[in-house]
Structure 1
Amino acid sequence: MAAVQEPVPLGTASRNGIASEEPKLVVAENGKTVDVQDKEVCTEGLCSISAYDQWTPLSVSGQLPRPRYKHGAVVVQEKMYVFGGNHNGRYLGDIQVLDFKSLSWSKLEAKSQSGPSESAEAVSCAGHSLIPWGNKILCLAGHTREPTESLSVKEFDPQTCTWSTLRTYGSSPSSCGGQSVTLVGDTLVVFGGEGNGRSLLNDLHILDLETMTWDEFATTGTPSPRSEHAAACFAERYLLIFGGGSHSTCFSDLHVLDTQTTRATRCYSRTKSRHAGVSDTLVLNMSTYEWSVVAGLEARAPPTSEGSSLVMHTINGENFLVSFGGYSGRYSNQVYALKASLKPSVPFPQINEAGTNGIALVPPISEAANSSRKVIFEIEELQDKPGNKADTSKTAAQVVKGERNQIEDKLNQEQLQSLRLKQELANVERRNTELTEELHLVRDQISAEQERASKLEDEVSEIQEQLQKMDALEKEFKLLRGEIDSGFDTAAASTNQPPGGVGFWRWSG
């Protein structure tokens, strides 16, 4: 995202890595010549790439990481750390390291500060963001197997291979994945992403790394809700948000947020080349808001475009872009590098409210310093800066293009709202179905209990009848027992009569 400058080759290097004493090189490009000073260069690792603006597959050693996409990558001390990602629907939690000097892979056995029982798999995630902070790595957000309510901030120490969860203060953002996290000074700016339930977000939160305190900006007119977009910081001041998508739309808009004046601006950028494709590598000229194709389809390019990681590393003043992984019909674990010929030379243009080119004012920094941090971002539509003020037809075309983009944005928002309503309706219908099934189940249970109660009542009735019969039998038994007892009493009385008694002798005879 800088002004275009001619590529500068490294020159001839000796075997000991020091440039040989040769005269300055003059490179002709676009009708211009550039003098290149002799300088110390290396010939190993990324420095072995000689061609500019071409993606080159790197020949790496060591055990290759598992193919993945939607992982995180960051550069710390000449090494690229790759963490997490998704492979066949499974969240990964391993940490792979690529040494830029030896171009060799190695795997770190990470542990948690909570104890040995919590392994690296406990922080497996995808769609997260990695940020270098000193000699440590911060990991924010991401989708996990067990979603949480709020966004978590974890820290990885490469020296001890230890994960720890940082304590934050204030109102933290909700859990999400596919967001952008950009380091601006000593603060992290979190924008957008996809929350739980696949809801798209466009809220803006900042985390002060000095106090570890969250703060939320109340925004109006911000970019439409999106995820998987790109964000970058320019001149330690401007936050650029580009592209991304919703559940049904891919965006190509560019928004610039001035972190000092708390003002957001949407820029209508232009593309120089008409053959830009999915695998193209584009660069934005910050002085003209024009996109240029650096490496197109006709050049060698990484075979994947979805969910790959992209980091930048500088060696001897040369900028290298390194791409890893991604998905394009299959998961990848390949590494590509591009040596950029572009150097920043033109500062970001000041924005003037009273100007006639349609660009809005940037208030003085002193005014911004006295303002509250919780301010409302104002979105002001920008037209393209015309190359020639007399070219009114071109300006009119740009105005029409801007209006068309506004209509397209409104249409996208309406489509997004429609999708949200359809999703809510589907959720309500699904919930209604679940409740209906639950009601039928409860009714079946009640019927079964009623039938069981009826059977119990019948059994109780039978038992009562049996008890009544037993009472009658007991009474009859008592009567019979009484008669038997009375018979024994009579017999006993008869044995007490004199021997001449008629009854006794008659019975004996």
Structure 2
Amino acid sequence: MEWSQPEIKGDLVTSRAGHAGVTIDENWYIVGGGDNKSGATETLMLNMSKLALSVLTSIKGRDPLASEGLSVCSALVESENILVAFGGYNGKYNNEVFVMRPKPRDSAQPKIFQSPAAAAAAASVTAAYALTKSEKLDFTHLEDSNPKLVQVNSFQRDLSAEINAIREEKKVLESSLAEVKSENSDLMAKIDETKNTYAELSKELQSVQGQLVAERSRCAKLEAQISELQKTLESMPSIEQEVQLLRRQKSALERDMERAAPVQRQSSGGVWRWIGG
């Protein structure tokens, strides 16, 4: 079993929620409701055999019947069906009781079906709605009783073809959905693999960061040594000047010693001669 959406004929009504409904025979009466901004002022009746929606009556916007969450029921009083409504909320909570006597409507000539052709169209809509639920309708006896309903069979065949096409499309969509699910499963597996790879790379990155910290410390020590060497190199010119000065002093001393050597030899010879003589 599945839901279907039949074509509804009749009055155009406002959207609503929080309404109440009750059925009497083949009619469904809908009272109240709203859209969180204002209450629905129309009391509706849906003829379920003809799928015809009509407005029975309208009330003022602030009327207690234009409320959300009210309750409604039907009762048989003196062989007459009546509607009884109670409560609801439309900015304030209500405790009034309201009664309405639904007037019998001309079911053969309702407001939206005023010609035999329109009646035949209504029968077609009803048949289509029943077909979506059972798909086993037989309109042979209707054809025999009313020639105007011959078009129903054609409509039924077209609708059956559309239903079959929709079923085939549904199968294709289900197949596509299965493929998408399979692709999603593969993507999830790849995502998990990527996460594992990311975790391993994160560990390697932490290890490399530790090595980088050690290398930075080593570089800092090397920079300190280089700074000391640069200071030593900066003092080299003064050292060279001192060395040159020492060399000049040494050269001068050597020259003085060479000059003093003959004098010492002469002085030594005279002494020995004096001693020998």
Tell me: higher relative CO, structure 1 or 2? Use CA pairs within 8 A at least 6 residues apart: 1
Query: Rg: which structure is higher?
Result: 2
TM range (shorter): 0.3 to 0.5
* Structure with the largest fraction of strand: 1
TM-score (norm 1): 0.20
